[in-house]
Amino acid sequence: MTRDAPPSHSALVLSPHPDDAAFSVGGLLHEGVFAPVTIATVFGETNYLGIHGFQADAREATSIRRAEDAAFAAAVGANLVSCGLPDASIRLGSSLDAIFGRAEAVPAELPEMLAEIVRREQPAVILAPSAIGGHVDHRVVRALAPELARVCDAALAYYEDLPYAGWKGDDEIAAHLAILPGDLQPLDIPLDEAMAMKLASVMLYRTQAIPAWVAAILGHASRLGAAGAERLWASESDVSRLRAMVRAA
């Protein structure tokens, strides 16, 4: 007589840039709901250091932000994979008009790069950006997420991109998620003790910890719950799968 294997709670977090996973679902990762966790940082080559703005030397900026990302991955016990692709500030130009504009330059190699990660990791859950805020790199990654979930029959959940979601009202956020396929439903994840750990993780990204951004991240968490929370959006069937994982954690 053989026993059924326990259900997998493994997760792949699609992080457009170093800091997106920590800012948006860092508390959830500290809660240990999912294990093992792989963070795929897609656009890791950059010339942008938030506090210091756009830099002339992309190599130095990239090195600094990769080190910040590695520190966060170690803090939550996640495996970090970097696709190493240039972000919008390099591909499209160092201006907010270009980065938040309509052009969506999808690197030709990206779909297969991410599909290979999915085939290797076989995650039970894929956490993807919902692209609140409209950053072109977030939109590129979001567009690829449904097919990636189909590759391994993973539950697909969209996270609320922070700090952008912190500057939006709940109605605006719901309207944004309503344009995505799947009749998405919200799922709040209380953080409790993990709220302090989330803040510590945000501060690991020293070049990105702009005070207004940190305030938006903390304000958003407090808005969702007195002790802090993060919110995912998924189809009704995937919300059920996610709830079962949260209860088992």
Q: What is the DSSP string of 125-170?
A: EEEEE--TT--HHHHHHHHHHHHHHHHHT-EEEEE--TTGGGGS-H
Position 6 scores a pLDDT of 53
pLDDT band at 69 (very low <50, low <70, confident <90, very high): very high
Whether the predicted pLDDT of 53 surpasses 90: no
Which CA distances in Å does 12 have to 44, 140, 240? Answer: 17, 17, 18
CB 83 within 8 A of CB 40: yes
CB 146 within 8 A of CB 156: yes
Q: Mind listing the pLDDT tens digit for each residue in 72-113?
A: 999 999 999 999 999 999 988 888 888 998 777 678 899 999
| pLDDT (average), residues 108-122 | 96
| pLDDT (average), residues 131-151 | 96
Position 3 scores a pLDDT of 45
Q: Mind listing the pLDDT tens digit for each residue in 199-211?
A: 999 999 999 999 9
Give me the chain's average pLDDT, please: 93
Position 219 scores a pLDDT of 96
Record: fold of 11-248: Rossmann fold (3.40.50)
This prediction's pTM? 0.95
Q: Mind listing the pLDDT tens digit for each residue in 4-38?
A: 555 679 999 999 999 999 999 999 999 998 999 99
